[in-house]
Chains A and B, each alone.
Chain A
């Protein structure tokens, strides 16, 4: 009899603890979206999307802290991280490891080597999503500087501008993005005015076999109007990445500056890119070959290191056109470096139907040997493929190792 009572008590306690393992409530309160929690065969699956933290590594750190604070019996835990409603990355770990990481019993390196990090092949479960990210809009303000070394009468030619933008995810993988450029000063182009820079709609997807896809239509940067498509496939985790991009556009202004006539000419551009990532140093070596949007054909080699949110890269471009640089110098190749740094706040306001925020990154290309109008591709900011580096398994591993460095 006593054994029966003890067994009943244990079952009740276990059920109670299981009931307490509610990760949805604290994560929703924190501002995470597209939340789903499932418990099957002792494995807890947690699906989440982050738009609260500027960096996915920081978001993952917060999620792990919340899991450590929550009593859960399921030892096996799988985290599936989403972007625009698309499952991207998967982390397999245990509750014990998370507890040890947060308490400082083990180092982040021990945690990452004992857990699995990879792109996910899982689909979104049928369970109801808590706190959907759809039909919510962000009004973000970013900045951009177009820059070219000048000559003796004007050493630096530049066009700095603020970029207020409106971005919204309408449904799973479908988003719209509109950006206005407030030109502060222009002695690079000498015709640029404040105007709409781009307005496009994109559909992001993930095909069977883990191929990320994007199809966009609308007005893009460089006064390009038309459609573009992009496909990305990874091999060996994130060590090898292959990209294919296609676009059919024509020069057309969304908001034509006075006195500026759009050139009526279609561009078909394409490109293939292969990227090798040396994961211990989160360093990419890539080569892109293709026909670019201003009808130049050639290749771009880029060596780039990612330090969490900071990217520093060196590039070399060669196209079938001579490159005009400062002092009118003609170059066969375009050398330069580029960097991307985080801007704004690390943590945004909670996502809502309308949320003001700062943009997340500032990027500058420095062309050492001229050439701002060669090797240009259609860029669709804010899309899943454009943001993939933050979701790389090696990026998240390295982020945890640096964020938990003091442990």
Chain B
């Protein structure tokens, strides 16, 4: 078993409030890996995530899909449209790259839809089906991005909550793969992680995930139940990112 997977399994073994994380990809998740958690029906989250250099991939042109020296900024709006469905619309920007006829750069747009298949019970975890960059399913030619979505991924993810000596540990395990002609650009294979809430710090969580490529670490805190902040650390390249999101309950 490789090192990241060993770490993930170790976390699951030690693993235990319901998670609060708003991931860097814009949906509910850990640092980057999605979870099977959803906000309450009618919750809207508006936010931005800074992706450090070395992690952001180019979304256009001949270097499409390659990691580039520029940082990225994901700006997103996420809504729990129904009790069983979360949708997210995101712009993925490459920082320090202007939109001009010379650069031929245009920010990437994407939709994600996530469906809750099972609610968590005492014995069984919550299960969610995620369809990231869902435009791929409709074969719609996204402007600037060409017909191939940059972040397509179809995955199944399960999340179960445990309590251990006052620590709340939310554990997640998922699997993503290609679906038909749609290749998985992210979360291909096993991914997962934990969100740990200690009894000592209110509205604060430690996050650790494996996104099927890298291990990511994050600390998040919520202010006034509405403002969500996260600082993320990427050990592979020793870079730091962040997420800032505002949550609003429409009902």
Chain A: residues with CB nearer than 8 A to chain B? 149, 151-153, 155, 281, 283, 305, 307-308, 310, 312, 325-327, 329, 331, 335, 337, 368-369, 398, 402
Q: CA of A398 to CA of B42 in the docked complex: distance in angstroms?
A: 12
CB distance from A270 to the nearest CB of B (A): 29
B154 to chain A, nearest CB (A): 20
Indicate whether B106 reaches chain A with its CB closer than 8 angstroms.
Answer: yes
Q: How far is the CA of A305 from the CA of B251 in the complex (A)?
A: 12
Chain B interface residue count, Cβ-Cβ cutoff 8 angstroms: 24
CB proximity of A88 to chain B, nearest CB, Å: 23
* A337 and B143 contacting across the interface, CB-CB below 8 Å: no
CB atoms of B104 and A326 under 8 A apart = no
14 A-B pairs within 8 Å (CB atoms) are namely A151-B106, A153-B100, A155-B107, A307-B42, A307-B250, A308-B250, A310-B44, A326-B143, A326-B144, A331-B141, A335-B138, A368-B135, A368-B140, A369-B141
Query: Interface readout for B100-132 with A: 1 if CB under 8 Å, 0 if not?
Result: 110111110100000000000000000000000
CB <8 Å contact, A329 and B100: no
A308 in contact with B251 (CB, 8 Å): yes
Interface residues of B (CB under 8 A from A): 42, 44, 79, 81-83, 89, 99-101, 103-107, 109, 135, 138, 140-141, 143-144, 250-251
Inter-chain contact A310/B143, CB cutoff 8 Å: no
Whole-angstrom distance between the Cβ of B61 and the nearest chain A Cβ: 11
- Distance in Å: Cβ of A147 to nearest Cβ of chain B: 13
Q: Closest Cβ of chain A: how far from B46's Cβ, in Å?
A: 11
Query: Is B81 touching A305 in the complex (CB atoms < 8 A)?
Result: yes
Say yes or no: A325 contacts B251, CB within 8 Å.
no
Contact: B79 with A312, CB < 8 Å?
A: yes
Tell me whether A307 and B82 are in contact in the complex, defined as CB-CB below 8 angstroms, given that A155-B99, A368-B140 are known contacts: no
Sorted nearest first, the 3 A-B pairs with minimum C-beta distance are A307-B250, A155-B99, A152-B101
- Bound together, the chains give a CA A70 to CA B100 distance in angstroms of 67
With contact pairs A153-B101, A325-B143, A337-B89 given, residues A307 and B106 touching in the complex (Cβ less than 8 Å) = no
Inter-chain CA distance A369–B140, complex, in Å, is 8
Do residues B143 and A329 form an inter-chain contact, with CB atoms below 8 A? Answer: yes
Complex: A331 Cα to B141 Cα, angstroms: 9
Closest A residue to B143 by CB, please name it: A326
> Within 8 Å CB of A305, what residues of B?
81-82
Contact B140 A307 (CB under 8 A): no
Apart from the given pairs A312-B79, A368-B140, 13 other A-B contacts in the complex at a CB distance below 8 Å: A153-B100, A155-B106, A281-B82, A305-B81, A308-B250, A325-B143, A327-B143, A327-B144, A335-B138, A337-B89, A368-B109, A369-B140, A402-B251
